[in-house]
């Protein structure tokens, strides 16, 4: 990590961030060509779980090369300064380097999908997802769904906390901040 002063090593903060963030980006290597897919995901039992069709480019690439990078980043705010070069962004980001594998255990796949439902539509369903539903589901294109588990080898995290007194809002201008010391 080039700017180690931004490194976050707080495992609790990283876990909470991964549990709450809504979109992750799965980076794959398709031969010599990069391929990145934005996805819903769940961070559960120390792994990332995603789902998708059993057929398609993503699954084909994973079968050829299971090494992946999964990145999650959230923009927290923009921080202003009368000197343009000192304008900055508050953020949190996590990169997970690891191995992707199709989950073959139906119970684990069902549990992971249940965790995903709890994350994205909490309280919507009044009973747990059934293994029968998961095993028999077919998309409108006729494809079965698969759950993919990303097992981390390395997790890195960076953060730049928001300095609230510098947070940009519509209508704020450099004229408002001249003479202020940040």
CATH (domain of 41)? 2.30.110.10
Among the listed residues 61, 18, 55, 12, the one whose alpha carbon sits nearest the alpha carbon of residue 36: 61
Q: Report the pLDDT value the prediction gives residue 123, as an integer from 0 to 100.
A: 93
72 within 8 A of 159, measured Cβ to Cβ: no
Domain membership of residue 182 (yes or no) is no
Domain membership of residue 71 (yes or no) is yes
129 within 8 A of 117, measured Cβ to Cβ: yes
**Which tens digits make up the pLDDT trace of 15-42?**
999 999 999 999 999 988 999 999 999 9
Domain membership of residue 76 (yes or no) is yes
Domain membership of residue 43 (yes or no) is yes
Integer Cα distance of 135 and 8 in angstroms: 39
Domain membership of residue 141 (yes or no) is yes
Domain membership of residue 123 (yes or no) is yes
Determine the structural domain holding residue 99 and report its residue range: 4-177
Domain count along the chain: 1
43 within 8 A of 30, measured Cβ to Cβ: no
The predicted model gives 137-151 an average pLDDT of 86
Which residue is associated with the tokens 């999964």?
70
Is residue 89 pLDDT above 70, yes or no? yes
Integer Cα distance of 10 and 160 in angstroms: 13
């Amino acid at each position: 990590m080039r700017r180690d002063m931004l490194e976050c090593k707080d495992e609790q903060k990283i876990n909470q961030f991964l549990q709450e963030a809504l979109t992750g980006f799965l980076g794959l290597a398709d031969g010599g060509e990069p391929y990145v897919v934005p996805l819903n995901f769940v961070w559960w039992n120390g792994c990332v779980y995603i789902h998708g069709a059993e057929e398609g480019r993503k699954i084909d690439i994973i079968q050829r090369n299971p090494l992946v990078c999964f990145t999650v980043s959230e923009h927290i705010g923009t921080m202003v300064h009368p000197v343009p070069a000192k304008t900055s962004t508050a953020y949190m980001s996590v990169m997970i380097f690891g191995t992707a594998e199709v989950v073959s255990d139906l119970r684990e796949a069902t549990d992971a999908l249940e965790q995903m439902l709890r994350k994205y539509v909490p309280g919507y369903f009044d009973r747990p997802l059934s293994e029968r539903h998961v095993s028999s589901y077919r998309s409108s294109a006729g494809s079965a769904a698969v759950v993919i588990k990303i097992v981390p080898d390395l997790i890195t995290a960076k953060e730049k906390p928001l300095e609230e007194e510098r947070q940009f809002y519509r209508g704020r201008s450099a004229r408002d901040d001249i003479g202020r010391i940040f």
